[in-house]
A and B are shown apart, each in its own frame.
Chain A
Amino acid sequence: MAATGTVERLVGSYNAWAANGASRAPSWLKELRTGGIARFAELGFPNMKQEAWRFTNVAPIAEGSFDVAKPPSRIPTLDEIRPYLLLEAGPRLVFVDGFFQAALSTPFFDDVQSLAHVVQHRPDLVRAHLGKYASVGERPFSALNTAFVHDGAFVHVAAKATAELPIQLLFVATGEQRVVIHPRNLVVVEREARASIVETYAALRDGAYWTNAVTEIAVGDGARLDHYRVQREGVRAYHVATTQSHQGRDSTLNLHFVAFGGALARHDIGAVMAGPGGTLILNGLYLLAGQQHADHHTTIDHAADHCASHEYFNGVLDDKSRGVFTGRIIVRPGAQKTDSKQTNNNLLLSTDAHADSQPQLEIYADDVKCTHGSTVGPLDPRALFYLKSRGIGADEARRLLTYGFAAEILGRMDVAPLRAQLDQIVRGRLAE
């Protein structure tokens, strides 16, 4: 099988990589990598017979041959990346094809820094968290990312500290053909600290490159993190990612997701509520056109009592695009007084567009409140008539209703410049 050949090829490229540039790593990191590649070799690429991959065919990735990205031959200027930045001020880490760019970045001591740097300078802190949340057990792409752990963003917010400005993490692809980039990010928000992070993936040029990212997020007791993830990859790109969070007692985590780009995108989002009294919001939008395919596979794990999770995902699907949403919610034994609400609404703007929506509730406690609902359909004719009856023309009415579908999600985002930027992208897409 071609896919098996590619697995061997990737293992081969790992061996070459590990023997050369990556050989100076500390032993604990080498072990992490070795474990990652071994697991990937065992699992191989997923196929559509597997429940978690029923609707997404990764053959274009498995059968494509991707080389590990090399440092970019030319570093983009600040002007070139400015469209993807929100603010000039504040801490910022910029990566090009996965390589940290000090000249474009404004780190904050060793708290907002490249992972490669802190592996050397704060090994104990990194070691305590890296690979502890994003399991490689059933996730071949996370395993592969773990094998190639080298660099990415590191954010640490000390106990009781508040990061005043949003921390920007920008991953720019040059669009180099047939390369794979494995960004690995670690966010640690300590007890009672507070921060906002904006993690953006964008491309300078279209190209059939592959991003395989993993972001691990640890939120300490009583801490609050607002994490925004914007996926604006090129329309020919492949984007596979895992975002895995772990929350302490009485903490608040608001995870926002926007997916605009990629020919094929798969995002596994896992959230573990490990301490009682936690609050979690997953708020996501996917806006697809052409033949784009985006799959959001979410798992909320209520492992402690008195936690509340609210999940809202809206999809706007045009042309022949396809959106997949899986909302798995696990309520562990003893996670009493869990309050979990999930909605997934899909708007089909074309008869060729398609959406799959599947809630999966696994409830092992008896005193809980779990609701879920999903819709798939075209614009509501009642709403269209209502708008027209107020003098709004048919085209404008359609645009307004579609915009509203997206705005419902964007409206929950608190970082004003980000919201304005996303609003502009959405309006631009709807005007096409």
Chain B
Amino acid sequence: MAGRVLLQVTGLRAAVAGNEILKGVDLSLRDGEVHAIMGPNGSGKSTLAQVLAGHPAYEVRAGTVTYDGKDLLDMDPEERARAGVFLAFQYPVEIRGITNSYFLRAALNAIRKNRGEAELDPIDFLQVLEQKLKAIGWDDSMMNRPVNEGFSGGEKKRNEILQLAVLEPKLAILDETDSGLDIDALKTVAETVNKLRSPNRAFLIVTHYQRLLDYITPDVVHVLADGRIVKTGGPELALELEAKGYDWLRDGAMVS
């Protein structure tokens, strides 16, 4: 395949609260590619997403992760974000007292500063924001509310995608962004993600269901089971999983 390897995960083992969840994950993702990670509950999908973003609760026990030529595991979460890694949270966090627009501007300016670009004042920022808001079908009323506070499940997920659109990462990790969305919200999220696809932006889409992949066609589909990637294929693999479930793979993995 064309393009440079953006993310190389090799033999990654990680634990939370002493329990090993990732038991040797290998994954390679090139610039601009869209990979889906599917798997049953408890397979380690979300753990992989959190470890890549640098969540402090997860202990990396072995393996390497190279991102854009750098040792990702050696970077603080904020350094990863500034280097272009973005995680859309499965459970976005409520931030009391800070408006969505203030938060988003603080984040964008932290990233711009790191790139050596000028920070945006509130007026310049509003112009950037307006275009992005249109993309997800929001007006600015959501921007003056505290971050995620009182948002519905769907609003929280859309807010994650809005952040993705504003922060323009090189690697966007979507952690079960489809869960808890009704079909209309799912379509909006998928359309936005499709618009954001570019040769300079790779996606790692973690999902339990094939549903999201009806709207976002991945280049590669991986199946994660019991902390390892047990199968890798094209978009047709997602359909196969939808039809057959995960059990046949889990059995196969045990045999091999």
Residues of A within 8 A of B (CB): 345, 380-383, 385-394, 396-397, 400-401, 403-409, 411
| Cα–Cα, bound, A408→B56 (Å) | 28
Residues of B contacting A397 with CB < 8 Å?
78
Within the complex, the shortest CB–CB distance from B148 to chain A, in Å, comes to 9
| Cα–Cα, bound, A399→B55 (Å) | 20
| Pair B97/A408 contact, Cβ less than 8 Å | yes
| Cα–Cα, bound, A381→B93 (Å) | 10
Residues of B contacting A390 with CB < 8 Å?
81, 103, 106-107, 110, 163, 167
| Pair A407/B107 contact, Cβ less than 8 Å | no
Residues of B contacting A394 with CB < 8 Å?
76, 78
Identify 6 residue pairs between A and B in the complex whose beta-carbon atoms are under 8 Å apart, listed by A's number: A387-B103, A388-B77, A391-B167, A400-B103, A401-B95, A403-B98
| Cα–Cα, bound, A405→B95 (Å) | 9
| Cα–Cα, bound, A401→B92 (Å) | 15
| Cα–Cα, bound, A322→B16 (Å) | 35
| Cα–Cα, bound, A394→B78 (Å) | 8
- For the A-B complex, the count of residue pairs with Cβ-Cβ distances under 8 Å equals 82
Out of A385, A405, A407, A409, name the residue touching B56 (CB < 8 Å).
A385
| Pair A389/B96 contact, Cβ less than 8 Å | no
Within the complex, the shortest CB–CB distance from B248 to chain A, in Å, comes to 35
Q: Mark B45-64, 1 if CB is under 8 A from A, else 0.
A: 00000000111100000000
Within the complex, the shortest CB–CB distance from A211 to chain B, in Å, comes to 29
Which of A391, A405, A406 has the most B CB atoms < 10 Å from its CB? A391
Q: Does B82 contact A (CB under 8 A)?
A: yes
B97-135, CB < 8 A from A: 97-98, 103, 106-107, 110-111, 114
Count of B residues near A, CB < 8 Å?
Answer: 29
Q: Does B89 contact A (CB under 8 A)?
A: yes
| Pair B111/A391 contact, Cβ less than 8 Å | yes
Out of A389, A401, A408, A411, name the residue touching B87 (CB < 8 Å).
A389
| Pair B93/A380 contact, Cβ less than 8 Å | yes
Q: Beyond A385-B56, A386-B95, A391-B167, list 16 extra A-B contacts (CB 8 Å).
A: A383-B95, A387-B107, A389-B81, A389-B86, A389-B87, A389-B89, A390-B103, A390-B110, A391-B78, A391-B111, A400-B98, A400-B103, A401-B98, A406-B97, A407-B97, A407-B98
Residues of A contacting B107 with CB < 8 Å?
387, 390-392
Find the B residue at minimum CB distance from A382: B93
Residues of A contacting B89 with CB < 8 Å?
386, 389
| Pair B106/A400 contact, Cβ less than 8 Å | yes
Give me the 7 closest cross-chain CB pairs, A-B, nearest first. Answer: A404-B97, A408-B97, A391-B81, A390-B107, A407-B97, A388-B77, A391-B110
Residues of A contacting B78 with CB < 8 Å?
388-389, 391-394, 397
Within the complex, the shortest CB–CB distance from A248 to chain B, in Å, comes to 32
Q: Does B153 contact A (CB under 8 A)?
A: no
